[in-house]
Each structure stands twice: as C-alpha cells, then as structure tokens.
C-alpha cells in the first residue's frame, strides 16, 4: 500500500462515518483489519506540548517514572519511540515544528526564536487550521513568544501570578528569586496541584473543552505545560512518589571517549540557578536531588494532563478528537557530565511523541525514525486538508495505520553549527563552518553503544561509513540550509 492509498483509505474511513451517521461509530477496512472509527470529517485536535520532557515515561519502557495518565493516552495512540526534535532548544524547536520547516544555518537557532521572523513565508500550523475553519486556542507556552504567529489563534492565553516566570510559591524561594534574581533550581511545596502556572493552564483547558461541547465548529486546542522545565517546582506529593535511592545518578557521567570539544557544553542554563556551582561537576547528592525534582515535575505534569484528558472523555468530545502529545526536545540528567539540552547527543534529540486517532490507534509502538517537522503534514492528512507547499516533513499517517519500520527513514537535527543525521542505528554529527567545511565530527553506533560513550568517527574501520553519512547529511538537511 503506497502513501496515497493509505491516505485514501483513511479518508474513506472518515467519509463512511458521514453517511447519515454523524458521530456514530462505523467500520472500515484498512490493512490492519476492521477498524472502528468515530471521527467526523473535521475532527478536533488537542495538541499537548510539554516543555523539556524526555521520553522517559512508563509507556516508553521506563520503570522509575510514574506517568499513568500519559500511559493511558499512549494505550490509545501510536507511540513514536524514535521521534527526534529538529532543534534541541525550546523556541527554535517549536518554530520548526509549528512551521513544518527545517532549521538552517541562519534560522531556528535559539531558545527565543520567533517563527514569524525566522520563516515569515511559512503559514504556521495553527494559522493554517484557523484559515480552514478551526477555532484555534493557545494556552500557556506553545510558541516561545506569546505574540508569535498572532494570526494563528482565536484565543491566546498565558498563566500569571506573583513573582517571576520561575513561579515559586514558598516565601523563602520567592525571597531568593527577588533578591538575587537567581532562583533555586527546584521547589518542593505542600500546595494544591492548581497552585502553579501549569495547574491554571489545566483548569483553563477544561473550561475551553466545556465550551467546545456546545459548538459546531471544530477546535484546535493547544495546551502547553511548562514543567519539567527548570526550576523543578512541583507539589510535595509528587516528590513523595519517588525514592531517591532508586533514582540514583547517571550511569555515564563522563564525556564520551574521543568526543570533540564541540560536543560538550557547560550547562549554563542550570548554572544560572542559586546553589549550583559556577564551574565543575555537581556532587552526586546534588545530581540525585535534581533528578528527583525532574521526575516529580514529570509526574505532576502527568496528573494535570490526566485532568484535561478526563474532561475530554467526560465531555463526549474524545471520540471525535485527535490528540497529539509532544515534548519539545530531550534533556540531559547528568549523562556525559551534562545537564539541560543544547547538544547533539541522543539525550537531547530523542523526544516523546504520540498521536491518538480514535478508533485507529491502539497503543502500538512505531520505531521508524520520525522528525518533528512530520507532525504538521500528519495533522493536515488526518483532517483532509491539502499539504501547504512549504512543508518539508512527511506525513506519518501511513505509520499510524501500519506502525513499523521503513527503510527510507532518517532524521536531521541541528544545534548551533552541529548537524546530526540519524540513520538506522547510526548517529553522526558534523560541526560546520560557513563554507560547509567540517570542523569536527562524531559517530555513535546505537547497536553496540546506545548511550553514546565511544566516538567512532576517527577510526579507520569507520571511514567509509563517515564518508557516506557526511554525504547523506548534506543531501537530507534541506535545500535552504545555506542562503
């Protein structure tokens, strides 16, 4: 079955539902067998963005992290276990995903990227849906900047409260933040779930879902959660879910053998926080406490996502709503001695993605290599909208219908001057100058070294592989890479 046939099958499945049945379930045949679907021709979209979420969740096989609500969503989704952000830093990753276009040598560079400024020709995902009859709502951080893609939203809302964006609740932490402008890297406070900004966001999402129940217009509801981004502030009960001894520290706290200096950074984002040393490694107990805080924030966010998903179900909207959950990039929790994102290692590039299509997806894992720029065309396909010509990704619809490996899959990710191509088990990065010359490189084979501890790029036995990947990287990185 080729791609067009898959799309046709899916739309036949949709059309079959409209023949006088409205939202009543009907059956259609796909290559997975009989599929019951409840989608109307214009299904709603719930688009959940989670800031700095690693794919370390129960549904991704992690035994430590407690994420029952996301796991429940995963059981109704296809889980993309090899999804990669195209840029491992917030603003740039979001601008790339939401325009469906690749980073280049000159665009989508930093945390405070504007999609409108970096790629003004591209119609953003929400704007495209708004133009096509959707009521579009953005809650909290979806684009990095509140007023980016201003024409994209009917409603744009951000949470607010006393103190800085770091959103501490204890008097002690508020005082530290105010006095020295460097807050604590975490907070464990005995407060209700709705006290922090993300709690406000979940309540706001629930309010909108209740309003949508009585509307004839399809909705595109984007809900951005700020945690587990630093500082790791979460109600105490989520800290209490974890035993620090079980969390431990990273197994590989040293840089990879023979890695170039460009591969390693000094995690300035974390060092900005009070109590973190200006240079040098963290003690094991500090590292353990940070990991504990990160996991507490993951479980806190999971609970808030559960509140939103419960409302989706209770409101009767679930059966006609596609749900996409994505984290904007990965995060280092001490691996290679590093913290935060901002690097070309798998820990920063691999990110959680799952897509739920009612009646179609049932918890299968897709281990094809996918890129975040694939999300935009996928949502167009699933809602029957033609693909805008500027898109550079590939629709994942065929993988939703038949999850499984394809031979032609790859991903290209970029951070600053480092460009990574991921092909099969190989992760190859080159750092380039403005004339496209190679400054440094690294190669990891995940078949034998999934944690990326031995750089193979300079070994004679891998020279042909490096040559081939170097060519492939230049072929796949996008025609607009250099102006």
The verdict on whether omega for the bond into residue 228 sits within 30 degrees of 0, i.e. cis, is: yes
Nearest-approach distance from CB 1 to Ca ion, in angstroms: 36
| Burial class of residue 454, CB neighbours in 10 A (0-12, 13-18, 19+) | middle
Residue whose structure tokens are 């739309």: 11
Nearest-approach distance from CB 264 to Ca ion, in angstroms: 20
* 321-327 vs 44-50, strand pairing mode: parallel
* Strand ranges (E), 101-255: 135-139, 155-157, 186-189, 219-225, 232-235
Taking the least distance from each CB to Ca ion, the nearer of 52 and 127 is 52
Among residues 333, 357, 360, which one has the least CA distance to residue 347?
333
Nearest-approach distance from CB 30 to Ca ion, in angstroms: 35
Taking the least distance from each CB to Ca ion, the nearer of 51 and 71 is 51
What are the CA-CA distances from residue 317 to residues 45, 71, 125 (Å)? 10, 20, 22
Taking the least distance from each CB to Ca ion, the nearer of 108 and 481 is 108
Taking the least distance from each CB to Ca ion, the nearer of 328 and 381 is 328
Cα(428)–Cα(423) distance, integer angstroms:
8
Q: Is the dihedral of CA 383, 387, 393, 394 positive or negative?
A: positive
Taking the least distance from each CB to Ca ion, the nearer of 328 and 394 is 328
Taking the least distance from each CB to Ca ion, the nearer of 81 and 90 is 90
Nearest-approach distance from CB 64 to Ca ion, in angstroms: 22
- Which residues sit opposite 429 in a β-bridge? 420, 442
Taking the least distance from each CB to Ca ion, the nearer of 51 and 381 is 51
Nearest-approach distance from CB 88 to Ca ion, in angstroms: 9
Nearest-approach distance from CB 129 to Ca ion, in angstroms: 23
Cα(94)–Cα(372) distance, integer angstroms:
9
Nearest-approach distance from CB 92 to Ca ion, in angstroms: 10
Nearest-approach distance from CB 72 to Ca ion, in angstroms: 24
Residue whose structure tokens are 């992290």: 65
**DSSP state string for 393-459:** S---HHHHHS-S--TT--EEEEETTEEEEEETTEEEEEEE-TTS-EEEEEEEETTT-TT--B--TTS
Report residue 119 as tokens: 């790629």
Nearest-approach distance from CB 49 to Ca ion, in angstroms: 9
What are the CA-CA distances from residue 252 to residues 41, 192, 294, 347, 382 (Å)? 49, 36, 18, 12, 41
Report residue 412 as tokens: 């290209």
The residue ranges that bind Ca ion (CB under 5 A) are 51-52, 90, 328
Taking the least distance from each CB to Ca ion, the nearer of 260 and 327 is 327
Residue nearest to Ca ion (CB): 90
Taking the least distance from each CB to Ca ion, the nearer of 143 and 219 is 143
Q: Show Cβ contacts of residue 391 under 8 Å, excluding neighbours closer than 6 positions.
A: 100, 101, 373, 376, 377, 380
């Amino acid at each position: 079955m080729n791609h067009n046939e898959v799309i046709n099958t899916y739309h036949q499945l949709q059309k079959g539902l409209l023949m006088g049945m409205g939202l009543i379930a009907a059956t259609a045949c796909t290559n997975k067998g009989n599929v019951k679907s409840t989608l109307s021709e214009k299904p709603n979209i719930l688009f959940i963005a989670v800031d700095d979420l690693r794919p370390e969740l129960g549904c991704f096989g992690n035994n430590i992290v407690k994420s029952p609500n996301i796991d429940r969503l995963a059981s109704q989704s296809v889980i993309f276990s090899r999804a990669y952000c195209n840029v491992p830093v917030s603003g740039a990753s979001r601008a790339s995903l939401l325009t469906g276009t690749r980073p280049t040598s000159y665009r989508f560079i930093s945390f405070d990227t504007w999609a409108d400024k970096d790629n003004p020709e591209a119609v953003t995902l929400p704007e495209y849906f708004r133009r096509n009859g959707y009521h579009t709502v953005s809650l909290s951080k979806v684009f990095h900047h509140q007023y980016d893609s201003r024409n994209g939203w009917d409603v744009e809302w951000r949470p607010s409260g006393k103190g800085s964006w770091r959103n501490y609740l204890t008097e002690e932490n508020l005082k530290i933040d105010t006095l020295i402008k460097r807050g604590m890297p975490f907070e464990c406070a005995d407060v209700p779930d709705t006290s922090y900004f993300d709690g406000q966001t979940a309540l706001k999402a629930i309010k909108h879902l209740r309003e949508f129940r009585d509307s004839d217009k399809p909705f595109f509801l984007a809900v951005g959660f700020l945690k587990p981004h630093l500082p790791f502030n979460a109600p105490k009960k989520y800290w209490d879910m974890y035993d620090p001894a079980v969390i431990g520290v990273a197994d590989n706290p040293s840089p990879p053998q023979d890695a170039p200096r460009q591969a390693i950074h000094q995690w300035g984002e974390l060092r900005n926080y009070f109590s973190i040393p200006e240079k040098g490694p963290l003690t094991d107990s500090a590292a353990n406490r940070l990991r504990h805080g990160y996991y507490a924030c993951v479980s806190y966010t999971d609970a808030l996502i559960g509140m939103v998903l419960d409302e989706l179900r209770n409101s009767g909207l679930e059966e006609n709503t596609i749900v996409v959950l994505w984290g904007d990039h990965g995060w280092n929790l001490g691996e290679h001695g590093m913290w935060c994102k901002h690097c070309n290692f798998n820990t920063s590039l691999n990110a959680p993605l799952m897509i739920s299509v009612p009646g179609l997806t049932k918890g299968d894992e897709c281990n094809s290599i996918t890129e975040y720029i694939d999300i935009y065309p996928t949502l167009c396909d699933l809602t029957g909208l033609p693909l805008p010509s500027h898109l550079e990704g590939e629709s994942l619809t065929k993988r939703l219908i038949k999850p499984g490996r394809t031979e032609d899959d790859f991903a290209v990710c970029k951070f600053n001057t480092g460009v990574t191509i991921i092909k099969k088990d190989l992760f190859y990065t080159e750092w380039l100058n403005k004339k496209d010359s190679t400054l440094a490189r690294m190669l990891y084979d995940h078949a034998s070294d999934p944690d990326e501890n031995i750089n193979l790029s300079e070994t004679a036995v891998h020279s042909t592989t490096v040559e081939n990947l170097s060519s492939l990287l230049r072929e796949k990185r996008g025609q607009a890479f250099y102006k």
